[in-house]
Amino acid sequence: MSTDWNALSDEAFRAETRTFFENEFPGHFKFLPRRMRWAECRDWYLKLSKKGWIAPNWPREHGGMGLSPTKLLIYFEETERAGVGRMPDQGITMVGPTLIRFGNDAQRGHFLPRILAGDAIWCQGYSEPNSGSDLASLRTEAVPDGGDYVINGSKIWTSMAHDATHIYVLARTDKAAKKKQEGISFFLVDMKTPGITLRTIRNIAGHEEFCQVFFDNVRTPKENLVGELHKGWTIAKGLLGFERLNIGSPRRPLQAMEKLEALAQARGLMADAAFAERLTQLKLDLADLGSLYGRYVDKARRGEAMGPDVSMLKVWSMDTYQKLSELLLEAAGEYAPMEGEVSFGDTAIDVLSPFYNSRPGTIYGGSNEIQRNILAKYVLNLPS
């Protein structure tokens, strides 16, 4: 059995995580303004795996840290403090929790250890060129053929697909279903399978973070179907709950807040009462986000389903992130358009990257407009 980190006091756990991240994470990758590529972060991933810290959100019985909500927040706060960038982590944040909840013993036994060991790096096959926020309208198809399913179609905005060894795919398996949410199934696919091709897409900051993935008669064994045939929408909703939990993490806004506070100190902006008021309001928003996030982390840790109300976590997180990035640019004044680190006295701050990184935040993972519609219909019971 792995170490019970929850037995430590919060202060002791924070001290241990702070020491480890500050001393062990490679200095030349600290506060990287983009997602790390697998070739860059593989050694770090394996170091975390060897320590047993690669899956802080997984239960201990499956090789995770099993952290309580408070300690998970501490874990993320200390990674942000040390400038630890985000890795290709779909296996940890999405696939692992999904297989733990919806997969069978064979799938868990095969894939979970490989995710922990860095042998299976995952990407998400959800959005399509004409099926983004309206994901249920997807057109990628999977047809049974002998012991396989044959997949044809394409997926887009697939983060870090060029580094992935595997992809999880939503595909239509019953075109005659009366409702578009029905007749969809959830598959696990090896990226080395013949018929898969990639096209990289540059984001607004010029980084090749996204891809379009094409499936041309791609075969995946029937044992790679997760859950029941035609019932993939239930799994998709569960996974989207995990995704909104991940997107709703305070770690991105926390990093922007740290930059903003450092910039405010360097430029003496706290003497401006109007600026200090706006900064204080954002601090309160960030504190509310941390409290809300902790509540959903606790639900996930107990194995409970994420209800439609988790949408407010995604909305709150990304709205707060964008507001912080906008105030950061205002605070930088004439230096706002400059890429990379800018010197403010003895302090060097990258003020532009948070703005670039926060722009798509209200779109991916289901646009904030769609999330508000979900909250209105399924939480507040307002008429359509």
Q: Provide DSSP, 79-92.
A: HHHTTPPP-S-HII
> What is the predicted pLDDT for the residue at 346?
85
157 phi/psi in degrees, rounded to 5: 55, 40
**357 has pLDDT over 90:** no
Looking at domain 121-235, does it have CATH number 2.40.110.10?
Answer: yes
| Integer Cα distance of 96 and 185 in angstroms | 18
pLDDT tier at 1, thresholds 50, 70, 90: low
| Integer Cα distance of 3 and 59 in angstroms | 11
> What is the predicted pLDDT for the residue at 63?
93
Q: What is the mean pLDDT of residues 215-223?
A: 97
> What is the predicted pLDDT for the residue at 377?
87
List Cβ neighbours of 90 (8 Å cut-off, separation of 6 or more). Answer: 121, 122, 123, 124, 159, 160, 164, 168
Q: Are 270 and 222 in contact (CB under 8 A)?
A: no
Higher pLDDT, 178 or 328: 328
Q: What is the mean pLDDT of residues 195-223?
A: 90
> What is the predicted pLDDT for the residue at 370?
82
**Which residue in 243, 339, 341, 369 is the catalytic one?**
243
Of residues 186, 189, 141, the one with CA closest to residue 161: 189
> What is the predicted pLDDT for the residue at 38?
92
The CA-based angle 63-117-66, given to 5 degrees, is: 20
List Cβ neighbours of 180 (8 Å cut-off, separation of 6 or more). Answer: 136, 137
Q: Residue 302 has what DSSP assignment?
A: T
pLDDT tier at 185, thresholds 50, 70, 90: very high
Alpha helices in the chain, H assignment, sequence order:
10-24, 38-51, 69-81, 90, 96-102, 105-116, 232-247, 251-267, 273-301, 311-332, 353-358, 368-374
Q: So where are the chain's domains?
A: 5-87, 121-235, 248-379
> What is the predicted pLDDT for the residue at 133?
66
Q: What is the mean pLDDT of residues 337-345?
A: 86
Higher pLDDT, 81 or 214: 214
Active site residue 40: no
Greatest Cα pair distance, the chain, in angstroms, is 72
pLDDT single digits (tens) 306-325: 788 888 888 999 999 999 99
Here the tokens at position 322 are 């964008």
350 phi/psi in degrees, rounded to 5: -90, 100
**79 has pLDDT over 90:** no
Higher pLDDT, 1 or 269: 269
Here the tokens at position 380 are 């507040």
Q: How far is CA 108 from CA 101, 113, 171, 315, in A?
A: 10, 8, 21, 32
pLDDT tier at 120, thresholds 50, 70, 90: very high
Q: Count CB neighbours of 83 within 10 A.
A: 17
% of residues, the chain, pLDDT over 70:
97
DSSP annotation string for 257-281: HHHHHHHHHHHTGGGSHHHHHHHHH
- Altogether, the residues listed in the chain come to a count of 384
> What is the predicted pLDDT for the residue at 230?
93
Q: What is the mean pLDDT of residues 92-118?
A: 94
pLDDT tier at 216, thresholds 50, 70, 90: very high
Looking at domain 5-87, does it have CATH number 1.10.540.10?
Answer: yes
**204 has pLDDT over 70:** yes
Task: Give the chain's mean pLDDT.
Answer: 89
Q: Are 173 and 225 in contact (CB under 8 A)?
A: no
| Integer Cα distance of 349 and 332 in angstroms | 10
Q: Count CB neighbours of 210 within 10 A.
A: 21
| Integer Cα distance of 259 and 257 in angstroms | 5
pLDDT single digits (tens) 135-182: 778 999 999 999 999 999 999 989 899 999 999 999 999 988 888 888
Here the tokens at position 85 are 């960038």
User: Domain spanning 248-379: which CATH class is it, in words?
Assistant: mainly alpha
